[in-house]
Structure 1
Amino acid sequence: MSTSATALPTAPARTAARRRRSWSAAALLGAPLLALAACGDGGSSTASSSAAPSTPAAEPTSDVAEVATATPRLVVTLEGGDLAVLDATTLEPVADVEMDGYLRINDAGDGRHVLVSTTGGFRVLDAGTWGEPHGDHSHYYTSDPVLTDVVHPAETPAHVVTHAGRTALFDDGTGGAVVVDSADVAEADPQARTVESGAAHHGVAVEMADGRLVHTVGTEEERSTVVLLDAEGTELARTDECPGMHGEATAADEAAVVGCEDGIVVVRGDTLTKIAAPDAYGRIGNQAGSEESAVVLGDYKRDEGRDSATEGPERTQTVSLTDTAAGTLTLVDLPASYTFRSLGRGEDGEALVLGTDGALHVLDPAAASITRSVPVVEAWEEPDDWQEPRPALRVHEGTAYVTEPATREVHAVDVVSGEVFATASLDGVPDEVVVVSGATPAVPDGGAPVEGEEHAEGEHDHAEGDHDHAEGEAHDHEDGDAVAGRR
């Protein structure tokens, strides 16, 4: 593995990036990790508030320790079952939890918990790191991770979308969703907003900061409708012009997108606008957004008639950049192909793509061009089966986390400098990865407690894919049926 970059910034730029994160840059020798578990046509659209039934919460742990600042942790699923929990700064192992089967995980949105898609619904994993507001600052704590008994019911748990302090859980088995305050996601019976679409389908929902809610309507055979509701559940807009809809992301100024097989639908204010792809079939099924940019990064596939079961997946080398403010869609060709787990966004809104050439390609979304390419892992080839592990990308603040199944490793990369500053060896083959921030949860009305303060004197501190979600990001996976939820 190479740790050099094709373009390195100046030393002051690296120092500034590290200071923003308040992280140590100490490298880590590969540390063995243990496994841990804690991931219809004409249908009606209704929304209401109610308590979301779930199983009882687990007893709190007694190993709580106060720490000086937020302590992010990494949760990684391993092939065949189990999850590993690591310290996200050093990649040292924290804990392991055993769990059987093909596991899918999602960030719960509160900086502490992870949602594991399992039989019966979304099970809550406490990653053991969190913040609590205290006046004009926060206190931060850590404890041992624990797989709780809380399960948010779902026939087929699928997409989880977090945005503006709210978490939306979509059930493909019913076509409905529940939306709760992210801070309440670990509660047994949180107050919830419910959304019904009328029929089971592989869909998605996201609530905006002002209470507007975007959700999909479809059937198991066909899905092409996107609906926008106001905070009270009254329909504001609807479009049926999004065939094969899949995936979503949010962007600057409270914009959002939903991907289609022939372009993308942009949500701005009370309107839905379809931006057509330059090709008759131009599928944008996975997206990654950023609060720092009006431009949404997406994949782009042109081969409409491809039978992935017999021909393998389309190994595209083109990505899409949708400007939600200007209403434009631009395509960029890359030097290598990528997969549905390859998209991410940097701390300043950079568009990041992990290529099969082993490099992390950094794009300027405004200029629609590659600014640098950072070698991270060895070259690899996309497997034919979407459930087979492949290198995955997850970004937290200024660090990109990249898994390398071939070597059973995970790497931490400084996005600005290109330095691979930590690497850990795992006890199994890594698959999905999620970061929990350990920060104080955002307030749903748009306000948020102070984050990242040092504890000083007198102070305290889802064939085409989609399925990853942090703020502004979308799920990553291929389209179709999957164990523990649709891909």
Structure 2
Amino acid sequence: MLIRSAVPVVLGALVLAACGSEQSARPTSPAPSPATATEVDGPRPRLAMTYDGGVLVLDAETGKVLLNEEREGFLRLNPAGDERHVLVSGAGGLTALDTGAWTEEHGDHGHSWTAEPRLTDFTIAAEEPGHVVPHHGRTTVFDDGTGQITAFDPADLADGTPEVETFRAEQAHHGVAVQDGHGNLLMTVGDDESRFGIRLVTAAGSELAASDQCPGVHGEAFAGEVALFGCEDGVLLVEGREITKIDAPDAYGRIGNQAGHESSPYVLGDYKVDPDAELERPTRVAVIDTRDASLRLVDLPASYSFRSLGRTPDGDALVLGTDGALHVIDVDAARVSASVPVTAAWQEPTDWQQPRPLLEVVGATAYVTEPATKQVHVVDLATRTVVDTLDVPQVPVELRGVAG
């Protein structure tokens, strides 16, 4: 059971703070409900897209702009965890964006609804908004500036009033945290100079497991019940209370971005080998098998960026290459099995905030942005063909889709 306290209590490397603190602003207006929405004949996927100056919500089938919300500063898009909302990160924190499309499941069928998209009043204050991780019905937000961790049930966003739990890491750092299915908290450990491991603690702060064998720990992914964290020399696997280190085949083999799959034992990771590079343009990816703690490298015909990784519905891996092709990797064989031409060839910019083609997967559809042409290409993953191209009014920076 999660302990709630009005006074923060230091618990090793974790500080437990009050529930429902000032970190959450409660909405003053109700969220759209079936009474104010339109029932439709099936799910209506939508896309949230940031640009220099704001965020758009698009009809994913037609490209029609449904919302244009102007906002200053660099914006990021994060999954809220409910296939309806997206969390928009910006200066001062995160705001829940209701894309206005959702499906309510009723046994063997569902009812789908649409409404006008809107930025809601649900916010999470953060000095430096960092990683957002939905897992096991909880969404966890890490504030790199303060080390504060905020967790909530994304299903409550439908009513506009999620109750939040707040924790605090002992040292602020560029980190990540996730709640498991038992209320425990799995979190990175570090400070403003270095990051080196992870800890699994109870809600009361008691340590269940820990490892300091993960220099530069960054990013997370899941293969079913197994969590994976990237290191500069491999990865850490966490299953229950057991932590396993998988060494990279190189002394410096950094895996900092990963793509998991809920029903696949494999995790896809990027793979970099030059610790001194200002910007390394890697041409290999890592395929990690969480069953036997093995790591295999796959050669690609082109480099890629941190926005290039994804998974298909059946668990194969996807990498969007700078050659403009979407490369499909058979994870069992650890080899490229198909390549789908999508965009013109491109080069990753040095500044990570600058636009570049990116990959976003929603169900059996991959959406690939092409900033140079202000387009979003639609790829049917079943047929491995580009089936549509959406023209958008702004240069896309980030893209996040919901199934609706």
- TM, length-normalised to structure 2: 0.91
Q: 1:44 is aligned with what amino acid?
A: A
In the aligned structure 2, how far is the partner of 1:325 from the partner of 1:185?
Answer: 35
Aligned to 1:68: 41
Residue 298 (structure 1) aligned with residue 269 (structure 2): yes
In the aligned structure 2, how far is the partner of 1:247 from the partner of 1:185?
Answer: 25
In the aligned structure 2, how far is the partner of 1:209 from the partner of 1:138?
Answer: 26
Residue 45 (structure 1) aligned with residue 18 (structure 2): no
In the aligned structure 2, how far is the partner of 1:341 from the partner of 1:383?
Answer: 12
* Residues 122, 161 of structure 2: 8 Å contact kept: no
Aligned to 2:89: 117
* Residues 154, 162 of structure 2: 8 Å contact kept: no
Residue 191 (structure 1) aligned with residue 173 (structure 2): no
In the aligned structure 2, how far is the partner of 1:186 from the partner of 1:140?
Answer: 14
Aligned to 1:276: 247
Alignment deviations for residues 19-64 of structure 1 (CA, whole Å, 9 cap, x no partner): xxxxxxxxxxxxxxxxxxxxxxx96135577224422315245852
Residue 323 (structure 1) aligned with residue 296 (structure 2): no
Aligned to 2:25: 55
- TM, length-normalised to structure 1: 0.76
Give the SS at the match of 1:70. Answer: coil
1:35-434 alignment runs, 5 A limit = 44-47=13-16, 50-53=19-22, 54-60=24-30, 64-78=37-51, 80-134=52-106, 137-185=109-157, 190-230=162-202, 233-252=205-224, 254-306=225-277, 308=278, 313-434=279-400
Give the SS at the match of 2:71. Answer: strand
Moved more, 413-422 or 341-350: 413-422
Alignment deviations for residues 371-403 of structure 1 (CA, whole Å, 9 cap, x no partner): 100001111111111111000101011111000
Residues 1:188 and 1:52: Cα distance change in structure 2 (over 3 Å) = farther
Q: How many residues align?
A: 390
Give the SS at the match of 1:184. Answer: helix
Alignment deviations for residues 382-427 of structure 1 (CA, whole Å, 9 cap, x no partner): 1111111000101011111000011010011011212211211111
Residues 1:230 and 1:421: Cα distance change in structure 2 (over 3 Å) = same
* Residues 124, 186 of structure 1: 8 Å contact kept: no
Q: 1:343 is aligned with what amino acid?
A: L
Q: 1:272 is aligned with what amino acid?
A: I
* Residues 49, 191 of structure 1: 8 Å contact kept: no
In the aligned structure 2, how far is the partner of 1:295 from the partner of 1:141?
Answer: 34
In the aligned structure 1, how far is the partner of 2:67 from the partner of 2:109?
Answer: 29
Name which structure has the greater RCO, CA cutoff 8 Å, separation 6+: 1
In the aligned structure 2, how far is the partner of 1:52 from the partner of 1:144?
Answer: 30
In the aligned structure 1, how far is the partner of 2:341 from the partner of 2:391?
Answer: 18
In the alignment, structure 2 segments of 5+ residues that lack a partner are 1-10
Q: 1:77 is aligned with what amino acid?
A: T
Identity %: 52
* Residues 317, 335 of structure 1: 8 Å contact kept: yes
Shift of 1:232: 5.7
Alignment deviations for residues 323-365 of structure 1 (CA, whole Å, 9 cap, x no partner): 1111011111100000000000110111000000000000011
Give the SS at the match of 1:322. Answer: strand
Q: 1:51 is aligned with what amino acid?
A: G
In the aligned structure 2, how far is the partner of 1:247 from the partner of 1:396?
Answer: 21
1:446-485 alignment runs, 5 A limit = none
In the aligned structure 1, how far is the partner of 2:77 from the partner of 2:219?
Answer: 16
Alignment deviations for residues 124-144 of structure 1 (CA, whole Å, 9 cap, x no partner): 111111233556644321111
Residues 1:48 and 1:149: Cα distance change in structure 2 (over 3 Å) = closer
Give the SS at the match of 1:298. Answer: strand
In the aligned structure 2, how far is the partner of 1:283 from the partner of 1:140?
Answer: 42
In the alignment, structure 1 segments of 5+ residues that lack a partner are 1-41, 439-487
Give the SS at the match of 1:247. Answer: strand
Shift of 1:319: 0.4
Q: Which structure features the higher share of strand residues?
A: 2
Give the SS at the match of 2:373. Answer: coil
In the aligned structure 2, how far is the partner of 1:128 from the partner of 1:228?
Answer: 36
Give the SS at the match of 1:406. Answer: helix
In the aligned structure 2, how far is the partner of 1:351 from the partner of 1:135?
Answer: 31
In the aligned structure 2, how far is the partner of 1:270 from the partner of 1:55?
Answer: 35
* Residues 90, 422 of structure 1: 8 Å contact kept: no
Aligned to 1:11: none
* Residues 12, 205 of structure 2: 8 Å contact kept: no
> What is the alpha-carbon root mean square deviation over aligned residues?
2.0
Residues 1:58 and 1:130: Cα distance change in structure 2 (over 3 Å) = farther
Alignment deviations for residues 286-333 of structure 1 (CA, whole Å, 9 cap, x no partner): 000001211100000000122x1xxxx101101011111110111111
Residues 1:169 and 1:212: Cα distance change in structure 2 (over 3 Å) = same
Alignment deviations for residues 430-451 of structure 1 (CA, whole Å, 9 cap, x no partner): 111101222xxxxxxxxxxxxx
In the aligned structure 2, how far is the partner of 1:390 from the partner of 1:150?
Answer: 30
Q: 2:218 is aligned with what amino acid?
A: H
1:15-34 alignment runs, 5 A limit = none
* Residues 73, 91 of structure 2: 8 Å contact kept: no
